[in-house]
C-alpha cells in the first residue's frame, strides 16, 4: 500500500488536470473527432453530432479559447465561419485514437468502421502503446515515477519505494 507521506518530497506537477481542463468533457472529444474527419462548420457539427446548439456553441468557444481550434472566415462565403484544427489540436490525435481503440476492444460490441489506415500502404494502423525511448512496448508494471531533480542528478529512484531505477 502506498504511503502518501513518502510523496511529500516530490512536488507533483502533473499536466493531466490542465489537459482535462481543456478536454475533459465528452462533447469536446466528439467535436474534435468531427474536425479530425474534416468537418468545420457549426451546422455540420450540429447535424452530425445531434448536439444541442447552445452546448455546441459553448464547447466550440472553449476549444477556441484553449487554442485547440481556430475560428476564421470561410473562404467560400465570408458570412460563414469555419473551425479548423490548430497544431495544438492536431497533437491530440494519439489521445483520441488510443481512446477509440480502447473502446473498440473493451466497450463496443462491433469492430470500428471506418477503419483508420496508413495512406502509404493502405494497412490498418497499429495499436497506440506506451514505449521506451528505444521502441520497446511498456506496460504499467514497467514504469516507475521518478522525481525530476533525481533524474537530472542521475540518481533516479522510485518516488514511492525509494528504490533506485535503471542499471548503473
In the complex, least distance from residue 18 CB atom to a second copy, rounded to whole angstroms: 4
Number of amino acids touching a second copy (CB under 8 A):
99
Applying CB under 8 A, which of residues 58, 67, 72, 84 lies at the interface with a second copy? 67
Give least dist CB 114 to a second copy, A: 4
Residue 150: CB minimum distance to a second copy, A: 9
- Among residues 5, 8, 15, 79, which is the contact residue for a second copy, using CB under 8 A? 15
Pick out residues in 69-88 that bind a second copy (CB under 8 A).
76, 85, 88
| 153 belongs to the binding site for a second copy (CB under 8 A) | no
Q: How far apart (Å, rounded) are the C-alpha atoms in residues 154 and 168? A: 9
Q: Of the candidates 68, 100, 109, which has an alpha carbon nearest to the alpha carbon of residue 85?
A: 68
d(CA 128, CA 138): 11
Greatest alpha-carbon span in the chain: 64
Rg (CA), the chain: 21
CB–CB of 84/70 below 8 Å? yes
Interaction of residue 115 with a second copy, rule CB under 8 A: yes
Angle of CA points 38, 99, 14, to nearest 5°: 110
Binding a second copy by CB under 8 A: which of 5, 8, 20, 84?
20
Contact between 23 and a second copy (CB under 8 A)? yes
Amino acid at each position: 500500500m502506498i504511503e502518501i507521506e513518502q510523496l511529500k518530497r516530490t512536488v507533483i506537477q502533473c499536466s493531466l488536470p490542465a489537459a482535462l481542463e481543456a478536454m475533459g468533457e465528452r462533447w469536446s472529444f466528439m467535436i474534435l473527432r468531427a474536425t479530425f474527419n474534416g468537418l468545420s462548420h457549426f451546422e455540420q457539427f450540429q447535424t452530425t453530432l445531434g448536439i444541442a446548439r447552445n452546448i455546441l456553441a459553448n464547447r466550440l468557444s472553449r476549444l477556441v479559447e484553449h487554442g485547440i481550434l481556430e475560428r476564421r472566415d470561410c473562404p467560400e462565403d465570408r458570412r460563414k465561419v469555419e473551425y479548423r484544427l490548430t497544431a495544438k489540436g492536431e497533437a491530440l490525435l494519439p489521445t483520441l485514437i488510443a481512446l477509440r481503440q480502447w473502446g473498440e476492444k473493451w466497450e463496443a460490441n462491433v469492430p470500428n468502421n471506418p477503419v483508420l489506415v496508413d495512406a502509404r500502404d493502405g494497412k490498418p494502423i497499429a495499436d497506440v502503446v506506451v514505449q521506451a525511448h528505444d521502441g520497446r512496448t511498456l506496460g504499467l508494471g514497467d514504469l516507475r515515477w521518478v522525481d525530476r531533480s533525481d533524474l537530472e542528478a542521475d540518481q533516479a529512484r522510485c518516488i514511492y519505494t525509494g528504490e533506485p531505477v535503471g542499471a548503473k
